[in-house]
Amino acid sequence: MELNPYAKYLDNQDPLPVLTSTSGRLHALTAGLTDAQLNAPPAPGKWSITNIITHLADTETVFGFRLRQTLATPTNQPHHIIQPFDQEAWADRYAVYPIEPALALFEAMRNWNLLFLATISGDERHRSATHPERGTMTLWTIVETMAGHDINHLQQLERLTAKPG
């Protein structure tokens, strides 16, 4: 598995503008949609719009923890080991989450993480962490993964919210 499976979505863009704009794009894409539109899966076994946004809220929390753990490990000690998670197991509970708190959590965590990222020095961008499935990566690879992950799900949401004709 590659270090950043979402790199193709980011396509060498600066990740910070992507991260900064995602909350607004989520609100714009979901504004005016009915509960039926928000909660209908597009196909059996696929996530609804609300499920995708709930997933984004969950992963923003995870990414924030990973960023902080990467920098919390003293430079003279082995680097942090990232804890993977099973997104499908987490998604088993998504039916109970309405879109409003999912959007609010995503926005709050993203803003919190952007404030944190504003404190990162050039040297800290190169601090290492190891993902057991993907290998050793830098803190900035985690940031780029966040942005590519956003783009991937924003593209899904754009398809799901596109008006026919």
CATH code, domain carrying 29: 1.20.120.450
Per-residue pLDDT of 3-41, as tens digits, reads 788 999 999 999 999 999 999 999 999 999 999 999 999
The answer to whether residue 158 scores a pLDDT higher than 60 is yes
Query: Is 1 contained in some domain?
Result: no
pLDDT of residue 164: 66
Task: Supply the pLDDT for residue 48.
Answer: 97
Print the domain residue range for 21.
7-161
Q: How many domains does the chain have?
A: 1
Mean pLDDT, rounded, of the chain: 93
- CA–CA gap between residue 22 and residue 28 (Å, rounded): 10
Whether 2 maps to a domain, the answer reads no
Q: Is residue 28 part of a domain?
A: yes
Mark residue 107 as left, alpha or beta (left: phi above 0; alpha: psi -120 to 50; beta: remaining).
alpha
- Note the pLDDT of residue 110: 98
Share above pLDDT 70 across residues of the chain, in percent, rounded to a whole number: 98
Please report whether residue 57 resides in a domain: yes
- Is the pLDDT at 2 greater than 90? The verdict is no
- Report yes or no on 75 lying in a domain: yes
Confidence of residue 78 (pLDDT cuts 50, 70, 90): confident
DSSP per position, the chain = --S-TTHHHHTT--HHHHHHHHHHHHHHHHTT--HHHHH--SSTTPPPHHHHHHHHHHHHHHHHHHHHHHHHS-TTSPPEEP----HHHHHTTGGG--HHHHHHHHHHHHHHHHHHHTT--TTGGG-EEEETTTEEEEHHHHHHHHHHHHHHHHHHHHHHHPPP-
Residue 165 has pLDDT above 60, yes or no: no
The pLDDT, as a whole number, for residue 79 is 82
What are the angstrom distances between the C-alpha of 150 and each of 1, 34, 63, 100? 19, 23, 12, 18
